[in-house]
Amino acid sequence: MANMPGKENKAKYVQETFNSIAENYDLMNTLMTLGLDKSWRRLAVKCAELEKGGAGLDICCGTGMLTMEQARAAGPAGKITGLDFSGNMLEVARQNIRDFEFRDSIRFIQGDAMDLPFADSIFDCATVGWGLRNVPDILKVVREMVRVIKPGGKVVSLDMGQPVMPVFREFYWLCFNRVIPAMGKLFSGNKGAYKYLFNSAKAFVPQRELAGIFAEAGLLETRYQNLCGGAVAIVEGRKPI
């Protein structure tokens, strides 16, 4: 697809792209989803089954919104780690938790989702929000997430999906292609970055196929649920005990 980097250049391109839009990323998310992203994150963490006092990992954490949702679920005794490739996004994440009730239970680190800097089986769950479509190798990343969670733990992805209703599907992609890059130019001064977001969403594997990748990575009970007519989807699976 046009304007999409090759696999060998994707990591560097994604890092530069998200560094460039970090400051206005949360505002754009709210505008693009009409504020529904908050409820979607809550649902994703509910699917992750993180309990009070638990240890959670959020990869490709960006500005930390899903990480914070994990922290709410785990409470003050929780230990939540957010990892991202983009230093600028992590800086915004640290600013976002300055007045957050559970800020002391969160740590942010810069790292590569393809090679997680953690020992085996140390987290109760692992989530990724709008991140898998940006990695060079989805299966490798999911396998890394499986590796670092405890047996019985959940891996959960919240990301763009492929809309399932024909008329809505065409209207959705048309709006995404025309409106979102224009909004990106207006609010962040970077139309190209949001054009990439459209291209990456359009090229991303359908939710049914992503559930299959979860199974290939060794997860059980793999399933997906469509949100907003399939434009967004939650995919999940459980590590065998």
Total domains in the chain come to: 1
> CB under 8 Å, gap of 24 or more: what pairs does 202-206 form?
202/1, 202/173, 202/176, 203/1, 203/4, 203/133, 204/132, 204/133, 204/159, 204/160, 204/161, 204/162, 205/138, 206/161, 206/162
CA 9/CA 229 separation, integer angstroms = 32
Q: Is residue 1 part of a domain?
A: no
Between these two residues, 71 and 173, which has the higher pLDDT value?
71
Q: Is residue 186 part of a domain?
A: yes
CA atoms within 13 A on the CB side of 157: 35
Closest CA to 130 of 66, 183, 216: 66
Q: Is residue 92 part of a domain?
A: yes
| pLDDT tier for residue 166 given thresholds of 50, 70 and 90 | confident
Q: Is residue 2 part of a domain?
A: no
Phi, psi of 205 (to 5 degrees): -65, 140
The pLDDT score that the predictor gives to residue 2 is 41
**Could you tell me if 93 and 67 are in contact, meaning their C-beta atoms sit under 8 angstroms apart?**
yes
Q: Is residue 19 part of a domain?
A: yes
Per-residue pLDDT tens digits for 178-192: 666 666 666 555 555
Q: Is residue 30 part of a domain?
A: yes
* Secondary structure class of 113 (helix, strand, coil): coil
Q: Is residue 190 part of a domain?
A: yes
| pLDDT tier for residue 229 given thresholds of 50, 70 and 90 | confident
Helices 166-188, 191-203: inter-axial angle, 10-degree rounding: 150
Closest CA to 201 of 210, 213, 211: 210
For residue 130, give its domain range.
Answer: 7-238
**pLDDT-wise least confident of 155-164, 167-176, 232-241:** 167-176
CA atoms within 13 A on the CB side of 236: 19
Q: Is residue 46 part of a domain?
A: yes
Between these two residues, 60 and 7, which has the higher pLDDT value?
60
Q: What is the CATH number of the domain that holds 212?
A: 3.40.50.150
DSSP, res 46: H
Above 50 in pLDDT, residue 200?
yes
